[in-house]
Amino acid sequence: MNLSVAILAAGQSKRFRSQKSKVLHHLCGKPLLFYPLRAARSLKPQKIYVIVGPNGQDIRDQFQAEDVEFVLQPEPRGTGDAVRQLESRLDVSGTLVVLPGDAPLIRPETLQELVRLHLQNQGIATVLTSEVPDPTGYGRVVRSRENPERLLMIVEETDAFPEEREIREVNAGVYAFQAGPLFQALRDLRPDNQQQEYYLPDVLEILQRKTGRVYVYQTRDWEEILGVNTRAELAQAHRVMHRRLIQRWQQVGVTFLHPESVYLEYDVELAQDVLVYPFTALLGNTQVGQGAVLGPGVVLRDARIAPFSHVTQGNTKEDPHGKHS
């Protein structure tokens, strides 16, 4: 399949108030950018492009070992302008998937379904959406009345009328495009908004007007589309990702006596019948063998815990008979 992915990481992250790029801040032990990259790779694309701004050297340095191509957006002129930087690099006969670098909760399965429906419908563009409890800050999705599967337009909150702000279906900032029509539409973009920027969502209205083949795919899990623009939103994303990790290991056969009091990072490996007491933190590449008991009050980083060990504060006991000591 002739498919490429663009990950937008050129934002200035002003609201994050940090000396380093927002997408390098950690979520469950991994940089934010790790997660959209993981989702993108599930599509088996020919190429993954990461679009960075002039101050994006720290992103290049941290992800230089990854199989991605970095593309510079010289000026912060909006998401539409960011994608426009790819035109000379892409086969315009293929599909381009675009997603934000600060949306770590998008599941690979959701991205795969978006692309599947896009190709099945022979869409010019398909946009991922969800209905959220509080749509503040998101672009609102206005569907076609004649054919609700199709999009009419995305209205940014700063430009929305009061009745449009009441819409709870919002744009996730994740798209699948036919590359040729996309770049033709990008030439028609105008910065007719309060920010004087070229908004990528505006091309959807242009494409809809010209072709009528712009579709909507709505995920029922609204937490998937949560973006991270502030420290508070980072904490919210952490709660969601951490809950997913706990549930993943519960399905393997791990017991967390009080999951809310445990801290667990992405690369931790837990075997069946591990028992985790409250106030335990498992960090880095920690690996825990079958039947081990951890805590309470234990912090392990890059540790290797033998099967049927009992790890307490400052002490590790092993039972050669396979019983907890």
Transcribe 104-169 into DSSP letters. Answer: TT--HHHHHHHHHHHHHTT-SEEEEEEE-S--TTSPEEEE-SS-TTBEEEEE-GGG--HHHHT--E
Answer yes or no: CATH 3.65.10.10 is held by domain 3-225.
no
> What's the pLDDT score for residue 315?
65
> What's the pLDDT score for residue 157?
87
> What's the pLDDT score for residue 1?
76
> What's the pLDDT score for residue 129?
97
Residues of the chain with CATH 3.90.550.10: 3-225
> What's the pLDDT score for residue 321?
44
Query: Which residue reads 């992405």 in tokens?
Result: 266
Per-residue pLDDT of the chain (325 residues; tens, 9 = 90+): 799 999 999 987 778 888 889 999 999 999 999 999 999 999 999 999 999 999 899 999 999 989 999 999 999 899 999 999 999 999 889 999 999 999 999 999 999 999 999 999 999 999 999 999 999 889 899 998 888 999 998 988 888 899 999 999 999 999 999 999 999 999 999 877 667 788 899 999 999 999 999 999 999 999 999 999 999 999 999 999 999 999 999 999 999 999 999 999 999 999 999 999 999 999 999 999 999 999 999 999 999 999 999 999 866 555 544 444 3
In 3D space, the residue among 268, 257, 266 whose CA is nearest the CA of residue 293 turns out to be: 257
> What's the pLDDT score for residue 194?
67
In 3D space, the residue among 70, 90, 67, 84 whose CA is nearest the CA of residue 23 turns out to be: 70
Q: Give CA–CA dist 246/254, Å, rounded.
A: 9
CA 193, 195, 201, 207 torsion-angle sign:
positive
> What's the pLDDT score for residue 320?
43
In 3D space, the residue among 299, 309, 301 whose CA is nearest the CA of residue 262 turns out to be: 299
Q: What would you measure as the largest C-alpha separation in the chain, in angstroms?
A: 73
Cα angle 268, 272, 275; round to 5:
75
Taking the model in full, what pTM does it have?
0.92
Please state which architecture CATH assigns to domain 253-318: 3 Solenoid (2.160)
- Name the token pair of 143: 């569907």
